[in-house]
């Protein structure tokens, strides 16, 4: 049994991961700025705090064996709208978590993003690809990764990096993200408006993502210092995503196109071969199947 702290524990990935770790017998504590219906049924310690509060983070980390750091300003658009908050939370907040992990002698996983690559030179993108983020969010995520590597080098902190890509598959997701928006509108037969639509992205189901995280968690000594993609290796355009969502919802929604956002990456398809080699991980849920499952979850919840 391990003692685990999950920052951002009320979020999509954090709350579901907590349930799985508790079911396995681990002692879990969640830290977040708010707790709502996402975690209402999860029986564990819940710490209402902000990762920008270094003392609160240090106290929460005391006695922990593993810290899984997901707390963040978690949308690219929010980073552009509130850049200072994004830097304070994603960069300084990560520094606070790393310092707390150092003092607790805990292994730390940090959740990062495909956004660190910006507009890739070629696809599929491997972990060694050039990292040139094109958004404030992407810059702060890359700074968090570099901070972890610095803490490993100078303070012998043990840790590893997860990079996610458009994770979906639960009603606990943020309402403002593309798949929840598309599903809610499709179920109401409302028009789906695309910001461009030609963007090609790698959409990864939550269950596959959690499987990868748990494999890394179990093999943490072996992946100390590594960065790993949890991606499908399949690209789908946002326009295709909209069509698949309408089909899965058996909807009569129309799809229209609006202007592209200047900070949106236009194409990212990830390479998951490193996760397969190190962890024996491969994604199992296709986009079509994942959307069907997610649509039904939303249909039941509405």
Mean pLDDT value across the chain: 96
Question: For the chain, which residues make up each domain, given as ranges?
Answer: 3-166+203-230, 171-202+234-269+284-301
pLDDT at 261: 74
pLDDT tens per residue, range 263-300:
788 899 999 999 999 999 999 999 999 999 999 999 99
Compute the residue count for the chain. 302
CATH for 171-202+234-269+284-301, options being 3.20.130.10, 3.40.47.10, 3.40.50.620, 3.90.25.10: 3.90.25.10
pLDDT at 262: 67
Whole-structure pTM value: 0.96
pLDDT tens per residue, range 173-213:
999 999 999 999 999 999 999 988 899 999 999 999 999 99
| 171-202+234-269+284-301 shares the fold of 3-166+203-230 | no
What value does the mean pLDDT take over residues 97-115? 98
Is the CATH number of domain 3-166+203-230 3.40.50.720? Answer: yes
298 is a catalytic site residue? no
User: Which helix (H) or strand (E) element contains residue 4?
Assistant: strand 3-7
Q: Residues 137, 151, 168, 298: which is the catalytic one?
A: 137
Confidence bin at 104 (pLDDT 50/70/90) = very high
Query: 44-52 long-range CB contacts below 8 Å, 24 or more apart?
Result: 44/18, 46/9, 50/89, 50/93, 51/7, 51/89, 51/93, 51/94, 51/96, 51/97, 52/88, 52/89, 52/92, 52/93, 52/96
């Amino acid at each position: 049994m391990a003692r685990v702290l999950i920052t951002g524990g009320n979020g999509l990935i954090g709350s579901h991961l907590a349930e799985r770790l508790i079911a396995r017998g681990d002692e879990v504590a969640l830290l977040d700025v708010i707790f709502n219906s996402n975690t209402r049924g999860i029986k564990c310690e819940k710490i209402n705090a902000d990762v920008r509060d270094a003392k609160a983070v240090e106290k929460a980390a005391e006695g922990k064996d593993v810290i899984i750091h997901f707390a963040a300003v978690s949308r690219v658009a929010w980073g552009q709208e509130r850049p200072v908050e994004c830097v304070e939370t994603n960069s300084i907040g990560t520094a606070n978590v790393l310092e707390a992990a150092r003092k607790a002698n805990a292994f730390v996983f940090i959740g990062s993003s495909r956004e660190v690559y910006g507009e890739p030179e070629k696809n599929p993108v491997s972990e060694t690809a050039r990292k040139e983020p094109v958004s404030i969010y992407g810059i702060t995520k890359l700074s968090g990764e570099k901070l972890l590597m610095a803490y490993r080098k100078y303070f012998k902190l043990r840790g590893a990096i997860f990079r996610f890509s458009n994770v979906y598959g639960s009603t606990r997701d943020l309402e403002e993200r593309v798949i929840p928006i598309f599903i809610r509108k499709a179920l109401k037969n409302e028009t789906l408006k695309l910001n461009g639509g030609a963007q090609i992205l790698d959409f990864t189901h939550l269950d596959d993502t959690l499987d990868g995280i748990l494999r890394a968690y179990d093999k943490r000594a072996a992946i100390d210092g590594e960065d790993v993609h949890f991606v499908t290796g399949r690209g789908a355009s946002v326009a295709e995503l909209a069509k698949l969502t309408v089909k899965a919802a058996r909807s009569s929604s129309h799809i229209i196109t609006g202007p592209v956002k200047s900070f949106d990456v236009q194409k990212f398809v990830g390479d998951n071969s490193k996760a397969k080699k190190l962890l024996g991980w491969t994604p199992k849920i296709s986009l079509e199947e994942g959307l069907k499952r997610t649509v039904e979850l939303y249909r039941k919840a509405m």
